[in-house]
Amino acid sequence: MADGVDDAGAKPPSMQGQQVFKLWPPSQGTREAVRQKMALKLSSACFESQSFARIELGDAQEHAKTIEEAAFEAAQEADRSGDKVGSAVVMVYAKHASKLMLETLRSQGRENGAPPALSPTATVDNGVVPPQGEEPAIDRSVQENGEEKEIQTAFDISGGTRAFLTREYAEELLKPLLDENAFTHICLSNWSFGDGSAEVAARALSALKDRLVDVNLADIVAGRPEVEALNAMTTISSALEGSKLKSLNLSDNALGEKGVRAFSALLGSQDSLEALYFMNNGISEDAARAIREILPSSKELRTLRFHNNMSGDQGAMELAESLVQGAPLLEHFQFSSSRVGSDGGIALMEALRGGKSLRSIDIRDNMYGPEGGAALGLTLRSHAMLTEVYLSDLGLEDEGALAVIEALTEGASQVVVLELGGNEITEKVAPALATCIRSMKHLTRLNLMENELKDKGAVTVSNAIKDSVNDLRELDLSVNELGRVGAVAAAQAVANKSEFKSLNLNGNQISEQGIEALREALTKGVVGVTVLGPLDENEAEEEEEEEEEKDDEDATDDENVVSGFSDLDVADKSD
């Protein structure tokens, strides 16, 4: 991120700079929590691109387990060797997991027919540009003189060592762009461009811009002073002015209003974008207004990813009025973790009613409240093609949640993923939620964590799952004030579902006898007890005060380890 471009929206420090790790090895509960976070990222639509294919959650969980085990073993080896201790061992754990996640996403993209990500043309190591290593991947072929000739159309340097890029290194790294080529997809992420290197990139991009369709400029000015960062962005933007892109990614640059306007030449010439990404950009109300003023049209937009910004209500209103309302063909809509309250939420939901094509909606971690929930419910009624619905941590309460649930019941029978965690939903809503669940025959993941369903609500929901949802793979009822009755009902609901992988009941008040009973219920089914997640934060009534205090201390240390994975970015290969 550019120092000083927008301090409030600056990228969080990398894991290397965080002193949050206290213990090695982590507890089994911590390891399971890390696996869950990795599975969420692997299955997240944040990785939609020409290089990656999003992995279905059930498969992502399997990959996450394998990745975590390999990363754990690598860290254990480092610990045994004595080369690294303490937090340094945890860094081995995190970096190895990050590397394997990236490899998994790329390999899945190739298997699913997505154009493969490329190996870097060259990387910088101790100031030396080594010879070209593995040949860049190719993604199509043509017949020439009776022989098949492979044609490379994607250029991706994001896999190299994270470093500042000088003019000299840029000439070598970007040489394939300057030679004769057929590139249509360009990814320049993970390198920090300054004045000289930006000029080299601009020269190459300018020559290609008439045929480019996908440009990824995420994280291209990290660590540069504000003036140099803005100059680099302006230079690259001007080189791409007039291009007719289908996909543009400006994520992970601390844009602010100045940064948005630095990209004005590029943004202002785009009237046929189908995918636009503003992730981790620190976009404020003023920056959102700048986007509205600069971007000429969003009528062709199918994918909008807007995450971890600081737009607030006013910024959301600015983008709702222009960007969202002007995109009736939207299929994938994300506006998460951006400080949006009920007013901004209502504006966004009203803007979405202009279309009927949504397949995924992700507005997690905002504060819509009951009023925003009512507006959300009205919008969901217009979109019958939804398959993924992420509505956690919106403060919906019973009133807002009921509006959403009734809307989904009426028109969202194709839903595969439903998240309603952290919304203060009580047992009063459970009957309506059960009816909704019965209407979702294809549901594979249900997240109801951190609500107030209690035993009565859990039994009602569990009965619906047991009777009607055959393909469920994950159920999260953690932190719902459950006791033995609710926990056993949940276990019985999933025990005989052959595809089921993960049951999270942590953070409840299940007695020792209740834990034995739910384990027995799982053992009697086809899934077995291995699907049960950790119960290290369960507050069993029989536990003595001393044991509870010890568990709290352990949980605090474990959370410190897991927190390092909250911002795990598999595209950041810092070692």
3-state secondary structure 402-422: HHHHHHHHHHCCCCCEEECCC
Q: Is 278 left (phi over 0), alpha (psi -120 to 50) or beta?
A: beta
Cβ-count burial 231-247 (b if 16+ within 10 Å, e if not): bbbbbbbbbbeebebbb
CA distances from 217 to 65, 130, 251, 306, 426 (A): 31, 24, 7, 15, 44
Rounded to whole angstroms, the Cα distance separating 168 from 376 reads: 52
Biggest CA–CA distance in the chain, Å, is 81
User: Would you say 279 and 1 are in contact if contact means Cβ atoms under 8 Å apart?
Assistant: no
Rounded to whole angstroms, the Cα distance separating 100 from 106 reads: 10
Q: Which residues pair with 131 in a beta bridge?
A: none
* Parts of the chain with a pLDDT under 70: 1-23, 29, 33, 40-41, 43-54, 56-58, 82-87, 106-150, 160-161, 541-575
Q: Does the bond joining 25 to the residue before it have cis omega, within 30 degrees of 0? A: yes
Cβ-count burial 357-387 (b if 16+ within 10 Å, e if not): bbbbbbbbbbbbbbbbbbbbbbbbebbeebe
Rounded to whole angstroms, the Cα distance separating 472 from 416 reads: 9
Beta strands in 92-206 (DSSP E): 140-144, 147-151, 154-156, 163-165, 185-187, 191-193
Rounded to whole angstroms, the Cα distance separating 171 from 173 reads: 6
In this structure, are strands 140-144 and 147-151 parallel, antiparallel, or unpaired? Answer: antiparallel
Q: Which two tokens stand for residue 515?
A: 């834990």
pLDDT (0 to 100) of residue 90: 75
pLDDT (0 to 100) of residue 385: 95
Rounded to whole angstroms, the Cα distance separating 375 from 110 reads: 40
Q: Which two tokens stand for residue 216?
A: 């990824």
pLDDT (0 to 100) of residue 62: 78
Rounded to whole angstroms, the Cα distance separating 461 from 455 reads: 10
End-to-end CA separation in angstroms for the chain: 18
Q: Which of 243, 291, 251 is nearest to 270 (CA)?
A: 243
Q: Which two tokens stand for residue 99?
A: 């590397």
CA distances from 413 to 302, 330, 385, 406, 468 (A): 22, 19, 8, 12, 12
Helix (H/G/I), strand (E/B), else coil: 377: helix
CA distances from 39 to 63, 115, 132, 565 (A): 7, 23, 33, 12
pLDDT (0 to 100) of residue 16: 36
